[in-house]
Structure 1
Amino acid sequence: MPYSPESLQAFVEAAALGSFSAAARRLRKTQSTVSTAIAHLEAELGVDLFDRSGRYPQLTEAGHQVLGYAQEILAADQRLQQLSMRLAAPVEPRLTLVLSDVYQLDPGQRLLQRFAERFPDIALEWLDAEGHDVLRSVLDGRADLGLLPRQDQYPAELQVQPLAHHSELAVYVARSHPLADAGRRAAGQLPRHRQIRLSAQADHQQAATGTSWSASDYLMVMEMAEDGLGWAQLPRALVQRYDRGQLLELALPGWPHRVHSDLVWRRDTPPGPAALWWVEAFG
């Protein structure tokens, strides 16, 4: 094909993030490199992909049409690379996954059962972590593959694969909590009550209230919320699966929030056949 994967990747990232500079940060390239790659793609296709007249580039009608094809080409290229690695590499004897609780396995997909049938002799370890702890586990070699909510930036040592899957975060309180009966007034009353949140969030974000408690994982956050100790932002799928009927989702403006996830692994230790099975299953 006359256009390079680098040009297609620059175009897709710029379209997704809404700016060339954001795409450059995601791809760890200079803004001029991304702009040049997109300009070359436009010249090769003979169309303008972005309207650059405003503060931020906007996809043209042609850009919207090209975007789907570009995403398909990149996805096919990724699948081909994974297939070649799976065919050439021996099955790893051990595999460690580290996942955020934002992602909950769909029981109907039977992923663990299917993996056990496909790789009956492998030693599988499943770790729970959140945010930067997921990245640290992969960077340190503690885990082979990590799944976490999408980050603005990643360490250069990591390969990142965005997932089509998305989760939803909603705000919950115990049915016995004062906010449970607040109705539309709940949004304005949140700052008066304790927030229960992840330790990872507590390290990187300012509390939405004057008082907050934190825990290292979503299950503990949920348990604290069930006990009426405060309100919490929790993955809907997690609550649906593990709540004992004690939590109430608050109807707040702008909620629930959609959360996209990424898979990460070290560039110098590409995934083997068993890890690639999970990459395809999560994708």
Structure 2
Amino acid sequence: MKWTLDQLATFVAAAEAASFSAAARKLGRAQSAVSTAIAMLEASLDTELFDRSGRTPSLTEAGRALLDEARELMRQCRHFDNRALALATKLPGQLTLALDEGLPYPAELALVQALDQAFPHLELTLFHGSAANIAEWLLAGKADVGLAFRRLPPDAALVSQPVGAVPRVLVVGSEHALVHEPGICRQTLARHRQLLVTPRFAHDDADERISPQLWRADSLYVIAEQAAMGLGWAVLPLNIARYPTQNGRLVEIHAQDLVFAALEVHLYWRAGQEEASMLQWLRRYLANAVFARDVGRPPTA
């Protein structure tokens, strides 16, 4: 078989257009060139791809079966070309980005859009998880760069820099007793169950503990759901407290003698990566503190 990629591309174009003349216009060729390319492909495969007995050619059973295969081959060719271009121009060909599950969606989507505009041939993989997951993925080489709240457990193999912050609010479920409690303060909160994120390492949450009654979870969204169910109070990033699924279920309350600092967002990478072009781009982009803007705005459909 001596078929060519050009013949495959012509076959796919003709099949999708359901017309040799329409395929010719799309490809910028003469109709005779399209007909010849498909005829040569059929001869190479010893298989008839189109039934030409009607007014317009239609795919044969074999043509329908081979169309998806041809599309996949063309997709792989585009991928090959894009990777070669990235290598030739020294642009990154792949990026695996590990993101804290609690990061604001608008900022995350803006980052992905900016990556698409800056690196149109980039092959991007996103992982979402807890800070502990992100540290594990980075150290194992499964992720290139990570974005997470606060600091990961100390490790000489990882380097970080703060790139923004997300405000936090005190919340309870709409049916919780604290909703109607006057003059809430630290002592008031201590009488009710507190919902906390599982600490990254020993004593990591010592400054966050207020109530002797504690429930912990490794997910901010799980904590938000528990709070909405009336199981306790929690301090959550503003974007999670105002997530659409919690609308009307979570109530933001105020404690007179407490101020909850914003959660810092840190960019993480493995030591020795400082000269990588992608990391340099990310550091410049995130220097604009994108994770401090519009964090309370719900994601749009």
Q: What is the TM-score with the length of structure 1 in the denominator? A: 0.59
Pairing 1:86-125 to 2, within 5 Å after superposition? 90-106=90-106, 110-125=110-125
Query: Which of residues 263, 266, 269 in structure 1 aligns to 2:270?
Result: 266
CA RMSD of aligned residues (A): 3.2
Question: Secondary structure in 1 aligned to 2:178?
Answer: helix
Aligned partner of 1:280 in structure 2 is: 284
Alpha-carbon separation, structure 1, partners of 2:157 and 2:201: 26
Conserved 8 A contact 2:131-2:152: no
Aligned partner of 2:15 in structure 1 is: none
Aligned partner of 1:197 in structure 2 is: 196
Identity within the alignment, %: 24
Alpha-carbon separation, structure 2, partners of 1:202 and 1:228: 28
Conserved 8 A contact 1:100-1:129: yes
Conserved 8 A contact 1:202-1:214: no
Please tell me whether Structure 1 or Structure 2 has the larger radius of gyration of its CA atoms.
2
Correspondence 1:208 to 2:210: yes
How has the CA–CA distance of structure 1 residues 87 and 167 changed in structure 2, closer, same or farther, with 3 Å as cutoff?
farther
Alpha-carbon separation, structure 2, partners of 1:155 and 1:88: 35
Count residues with an aligned counterpart. Answer: 197
- Higher fraction of helix: 1
Alpha-carbon separation, structure 2, partners of 1:151 and 1:211: 26
Query: Which of residues 245, 248, 269 in structure 2 aligns to 1:245?
Result: 248
Kindly provide the amino acid, as one letter, of the partner of residue 181 in structure 1: H
Could you tell me how far 1:265 is from its partner in structure 2? 0.5
How has the CA–CA distance of structure 1 residues 142 and 149 changed in structure 2, closer, same or farther, with 3 Å as cutoff?
same
Conserved 8 A contact 2:186-2:210: no
How has the CA–CA distance of structure 1 residues 198 and 88 changed in structure 2, closer, same or farther, with 3 Å as cutoff?
farther
Could you tell me how far 1:201 is from its partner in structure 2? 5.6
Conserved 8 A contact 1:174-1:247: yes
Could you tell me how far 1:89 is from its partner in structure 2? 7.4
Alpha-carbon separation, structure 2, partners of 1:215 and 1:125: 26
Alpha-carbon separation, structure 1, partners of 2:275 and 2:224: 33
Kindly provide the amino acid, as one letter, of the partner of residue 137 in structure 1: W
What stretches of structure 2 of length at least 5 have no aligned partner? Answer: 1-85, 288-301
- Deviations for 1:121-172, whole angstroms, at most 9, x for unmatched residues? 3332222333444323212212111122343973222222232x22112221
Q: What is the TM-score with the length of structure 2 in the denominator? A: 0.56
